[in-house]
Amino acid sequence: MSLQTQLTPMLDDIRRRWIELIFATYPSDASGFLSREKDQFANPVGFAIRQATATLLDSVVTGRSEHTAEALDQIVRIRSVQDFTASAAVSFVFLLKQAITDVAGELVAKDARAWLELDERIDGLALEAFDVFMQCREQLFTIRLAEQDRWNASARLKRQRGLPVSPSGMHGTGRKEHPRR
């Protein structure tokens, strides 16, 4: 029987352990809340992690990857703006290895070749997570620029119609006075 087949009845436990490990990457006062509060609107971070890990675990075990990008985005987008370094933001993917060995260590030890395959898939997922992380960070910079343009819409419209524009702007024009920034 393949390792994948043997793991199937343990997937819920593996996922539960994985979620637990991900929640533990948050400060202890927060991890309790993340795991306790089940309402998806009261606890969007916990909900996203719960939902996305199901898809990701399935893709690792089965090798199917149709929804992987979406699921990775669900978690990484959140972690890309939280108090994490880049490595810590994507580290949650590697925690799946620990979750699998914690729950099914004996099984895994018996079939090194099959484990290697899973291990590679998880590594691939981590690399993909890093791409998503970079996209999110770059998007942050893009939307900051777009915002400035929106905040001076009347000037933009006037320019489009070839009219003169007065030098006023939404808050923050004062930053010119602060070269140290």
Q: Where are the beta strands (DSSP E) in the chain?
A: none
Distance CA 90, CA 158 (A): 44
Interaction of residue 152 with another protein, rule CB under 8 A? yes
CB 18 within 8 A of CB 10: no
Size of the site for another protein (CB under 8 A): 59
The amino acid at residue 146 is: A
Interaction of residue 91 with another protein, rule CB under 8 A? yes
The DSSP element (H or E) to which 47 belongs, if any, is helix 44-62
Binding mask 96-135 for another protein (x = CB under 8 A): ----------------------------------------
The amino acid at residue 50 is: R
CB of 109 or CB of 157, closer to another protein: 157
């393949």: which residue's tokens?
A: 2
Q: Which residues bind another protein (CB under 8 A)?
A: 21, 24-31, 33-34, 37, 39-45, 77-78, 81-83, 87-88, 91, 94-95, 136, 139-140, 143-144, 146-148, 150-154, 156-158, 163, 166, 168-175, 177-178, 180-181
